[in-house]
Chain A
Amino acid sequence: MNKSKGTVIAIGMIYGMLTLSCFLKKEEEYSFSERRKLAEKPSFSAESVLSGSYMKQAEEYVTDQFPGRDLWRGLKAGFTLNVMQKSDTNGIYEKDGYLCSMEYPMDKDSMERAGTIFTGIYDKYLKETKTNVYFSIIPDKGYFLSGGKYLSMDYEYFLKEMYAQADFAESIPIHELLQLSDYYRTDTHWKQEQITDVAEKLAEVMGTKLAGEYETRTLKIPFYGVYYGQAALPTAPDEISYCTNEVLEKCKAFDFENNREIPIYDISKADGRDPYEMFFGGNISLATIENPSANTDKELVVFGDSFARSLLPLMAEGYTKITLIDIRYLPSAYIGSYMTFSNQDVLFLYSTSVLNNSITLK
């Protein structure tokens, strides 16, 4: 066999196998690593063909359904970072074993927007009541990892400006209590078992004392966080744990969006698409925790994002009722239909990531 024939056959066989695998591969509905639905087979019609939508959808479909999708994405990420020496892949970088999204640039319009929404909530629902209003900002991992090689916003300026935007509230800085190890390596969130001191600090400023004694239970399910899928790097999974005690076990949680009682920790969700959803109902707009063994009649209302979901169970001990309102899902204009504000403690608790991308707040 001559050299050229050998080359054509060798490359042709590899190419043929890849092609064949595309034709033989079974359709998948969901990508767990990317946490998204994969494109579905488009329906064929004269209209969709003439408008070009069929072709566009078909391209998305075959790209999404390519066999071994995660493997290919990993190859690209590895090559990009290790051979081409790019500092990040899809905006995610790895430093000290932690995957982190570059929160950059600082979006002053977004900060202002968030401030306007919070002020609007205060003016509409809280100003004329006896509520005590607080504001606390959770730094993302970039706060600890930034500097040197990576692009990052000026967090000190961000925190100062953002607290100033909500000058109607007493600010409770918690960033000094946090460190990198308080966060998951592969996810954006903090670990519940690491933030009992944050819960105590918040409670203390709001005039409540927490005993803060918990049993930490670690699940035997590997936790691949949101950055794991975005970066597509071969990173070891995190462990996911939750804190419980007698008081918490007696507490009742309720999901007003779906009008049903929910567990404070839904272990079945830990094995689902987003394991972090196991905390306090996951992504729902309005939920409460009621503590029948509370020694106080104090109530807490929290306007918060997903970080609040793991924090609030730790504060349940200090309140008879905690309400979480997520204005990413429940527009602030409608809150009055569900809530009456009188003398509760009200806490605005948001992460820097949400505040810097406040388009999600309604």
Chain B
Amino acid sequence: MVFSSIPFLYYFLPIVLLAYFLIPVKGRNAVLLLASLIFYAWGEPVYVFLMLVSVAVGYLAGLLLGKYREKKPGGSAQKAILTVSVLLFLSIFIYFKYTDFFISNFNAVTGLSVPLLQIVLPVGISFYTFQIISYLVDVYRGDAAPQKNFVSLATYITMFPQLIAGPIVRYTDIEKQMKGRTTSFAMTESGIFRFIIGLSKKILIANELGALCELFRESGEQSVLYYWMYAVAFALHIYYDFSGYSDMAIGLGRIFGFTLAENFNYPYISRSVTEFWRRWHISLGGWFRDYLYIPLGGNRVPAWKWYRNIFIVWMVTGLWHGASWNFVLWGLYFGMLLVIEKKWLLAILEKGKGWQHVYVLLLVIISFVVFNAADMAQAIGDIRCMLGMGGLPLLSSEALYYIRSYGVTLIVAVLGATPIPVSVWRTLRNRLQNKKNENKVSLLALHGLKIAGAVFLLLLCTAYLVDGSFNPFLYFRF
């Protein structure tokens, strides 16, 4: 089930909300767990059992890790349990996600034709596997106590707001909230607004830009301009798709009384690629930093090892996004850029007067062209065409038509990817809140406007859904 669907918005969610708030506080985790299992089973009726087994194994491994930690922290028993359990989870993950990738590469190298297994990737496995591993590592390290309540641990891992597309929630961030959390009207209000903003980002912008990208791919009249329009549209599409989902997850979390960590912070205003990755998919970057980069030695090692660590982390980051060489190239591309920046460019970029934004945007846009390609050949072909090396005309009537037709959407998307709208809103509110000149009526009107805006957006999103618009979630495939 996806958030941006009629069944979720007008059937599943209201029933869950009603049950959640009517039931005594003690039973709320159980309600969330049940709801999450139904939510997941709706899309993955068979793999829900795989997820439940993963949770059970994670629960038992956590208990064992805790038990042996009490006896001897970091002892061989604890190490063995962690190694076995992490390897088990990684094996399941690798089996589902990479088996066919390995087979096709094996075939390519050996010239054999071992048949592909055509394994269907369970939705959200990349997210919940990482959550379980982070929990086990945290218990091993002593950063978290093992969760003795199965329902609480299962609720943490399967919690539907973030189950299938993140953000990747750390157990340490949510441990206390699992035991007890308070809900308030202020938190619910902010959750509602955040959810509606995320829903609007997804439906009104991401889906529209996604449709534009599809039109480009189906077109028989391509041009250099059309390629650039596609590249820009896709970079915005993936941002709105993924950040919209994260907004919805964070908003739902707040409604249920959780504070989930932010996952995006206006990445397209970055002045370096290094900064971009501090603002883009923050929870994934943090996960790789804490559970892979630092265990490898981080930057406190000889230079060659440091570079090795960076490239390992970015190759794995690429592979995490998909079992294909273009994802590996995409990860290594960022690894290389980060090394170049750390070694030479960061100091220059910090002194730049605006051009660094162009530098970042250009590199990121090109990276997403590689990211979205079906394979390496298409990735190279797309970039060649963007650079005018594809023998295509500069302009085409189709490109001009769609630029005109999607012009407002693109402008809104570009503006919305910057802090400008939020800062305008805050400035307006702050002026009205100025103590010397407080204008209660205007403040009330402003608040009314906010409510009306939220309701209008909800109705508009409903209208788009009823009309059956283009509506896939990009990050479901990861």
A joins B in a complex: yes
Question: A62 with B397: in contact, given A4-B185, A72-B466, A87-B404 (CB under 8 Å)?
Answer: no
Least CB distance, B111 to chain A, in whole angstroms: 35
Least CB distance, B9 to chain A, in whole angstroms: 8
How many A residues, CB 8 Å from partner?
43
Question: A4 with B6: in contact, given A79-B463, A87-B401 (CB under 8 Å)?
Answer: no
Nearest opposing residue in chain A for B461, CB measure: A76
Q: What 1/0 mask marks residues of chain B from 11 to 25 whose CB sits below 8 Å from any chain A CB?
A: 100100000000000
A314 CA to B86 CA, complexed, in Å: 80
Within 8 Å by CB of B11, from A4, A14, A15, A62, lies A62
Does any Cβ of A come within 8 Å of B188's Cβ? yes
Least CB distance, B51 to chain A, in whole angstroms: 15
B397 CB contacts on chain A under 8 angstroms: 151
Tell me how many residue pairs across A and B have CB atoms closer than 8 Å: 115
Within 8 Å by CB of A18, from B10, B189, B220, B405, lies B10
Least CB distance, B107 to chain A, in whole angstroms: 30
Q: What 1/0 mask marks residues of chain A from 1 to 42 whose CB sits below 8 Å from any chain B CB?
A: 011110110110011101100100000000000000000000
A49 CB contacts on chain B under 8 angstroms: 45
Does any Cβ of B come within 8 Å of A269's Cβ? no
A232 CA to B208 CA, complexed, in Å: 18
Q: Are B5 and A59 in contact (CB under 8 A)?
A: yes
A249 CA to B51 CA, complexed, in Å: 72
A150 CB contacts on chain B under 8 angstroms: 401
A150 CA to B401 CA, complexed, in Å: 7
Q: Are A7 and B468 in contact (CB under 8 A)?
A: no
Q: Are B460 and A85 in contact (CB under 8 A)?
A: no
Q: Are B466 and A59 in contact (CB under 8 A)?
A: no
Question: A59 with B6: in contact, given A8-B192, A86-B406 (CB under 8 Å)?
Answer: yes
A151 CB contacts on chain B under 8 angstroms: 397-398, 401
Q: Are B14 and A16 in contact (CB under 8 A)?
A: yes
A281 CA to B469 CA, complexed, in Å: 35
Q: What 1/0 mask marks residues of chain A from 54 to 76 whose CB sits below 8 Å from any chain B CB?
A: 01001100110010010011011
Does any Cβ of A come within 8 Å of B432's Cβ? no
Q: Are B409 and A84 in contact (CB under 8 A)?
A: yes
Does any Cβ of B come within 8 Å of A97's Cβ? no
How many B residues, CB 8 Å from partner?
47
Q: Are B189 and A62 in contact (CB under 8 A)?
A: no
Q: Are B466 and A66 in contact (CB under 8 A)?
A: yes
Within 8 Å by CB of B462, from A18, A59, A232, lies A18
B455 CB contacts on chain A under 8 angstroms: 10-11, 14
Q: Are A4 and B466 in contact (CB under 8 A)?
A: no
Within 8 Å by CB of B14, from A15, A50, A59, lies A15
Does any Cβ of B come within 8 Å of A207's Cβ? no
Within 8 A of A (CB), among B365-421: 397-398, 401, 404-409, 412
Q: What 1/0 mask marks residues of chain A from 125 to 158 whose CB sits below 8 Å from any chain B CB?
A: 0000000000000000000000001110000000
A84 CB contacts on chain B under 8 angstroms: 208, 408-409, 412
Does any Cβ of A come within 8 Å of B323's Cβ? no
Q: What 1/0 mask marks residues of chain A from 72 to 92 whose CB sits below 8 Å from any chain B CB?
A: 110111010001111110100
Does any Cβ of A come within 8 Å of B269's Cβ? no
Least CB distance, B311 to chain A, in whole angstroms: 39
Nearest opposing residue in chain A for B464, CB measure: A76
Q: What 1/0 mask marks residues of chain A from 92 to 122 whose CB sits below 8 Å from any chain B CB?
A: 0000000000000100000000000000000
Question: A2 with B10: in contact, given A55-B45, A69-B466, A232-B467 (CB under 8 Å)?
Answer: no
Q: Are A2 and B458 in contact (CB under 8 A)?
A: no
SS class, residues of chain B in contact with chain A: helix
Nearest opposing residue in chain A for B5, CB measure: A59
Question: A85 with B185: in contact, given A15-B14, A63-B468, A76-B467 (CB under 8 Å)?
Answer: no
Least CB distance, B32 to chain A, in whole angstroms: 19
Least CB distance, B110 to chain A, in whole angstroms: 36
Within 8 Å by CB of A11, from B45, B192, B407, lies B192
B43 CB contacts on chain A under 8 angstroms: 52, 55
B460 CB contacts on chain A under 8 angstroms: 75-76, 79
B466 CB contacts on chain A under 8 angstroms: 63, 66, 69, 72-73, 76
Q: What 1/0 mask marks residues of chain B from 175 to 209 whose CB sits below 8 Å from any chain A CB?
A: 00000000011101100100000000000000010
Q: Are B45 and A105 in contact (CB under 8 A)?
A: no
A19 CA to B462 CA, complexed, in Å: 11
A149 CA to B405 CA, complexed, in Å: 9
Within 8 Å by CB of A85, from B408, B459, B463, B465, lies B408
Question: A8 with B467: in contact, given A59-B6, A86-B405, A86-B406 (CB under 8 Å)?
Answer: no
- Other than A72-B462, A79-B460, A232-B467, give 17 A-B pairs with Cβ distance below 8 A: A2-B185, A8-B188, A8-B189, A18-B462, A51-B45, A52-B43, A52-B45, A62-B6, A66-B466, A72-B466, A76-B464, A76-B467, A77-B467, A85-B408, A105-B221, A149-B401, A151-B398
Which 8 pairs of residues, A with B, have the shortest CB-CB distance?
A4-B185, A72-B466, A76-B463, A87-B405, A4-B189, A75-B463, A72-B463, A5-B185
Can you show 14 pairs from A to B with CB atoms below 8 A apart? A4-B185, A15-B458, A19-B14, A50-B45, A50-B46, A51-B45, A55-B45, A62-B11, A72-B462, A72-B466, A73-B466, A76-B469, A83-B408, A84-B408
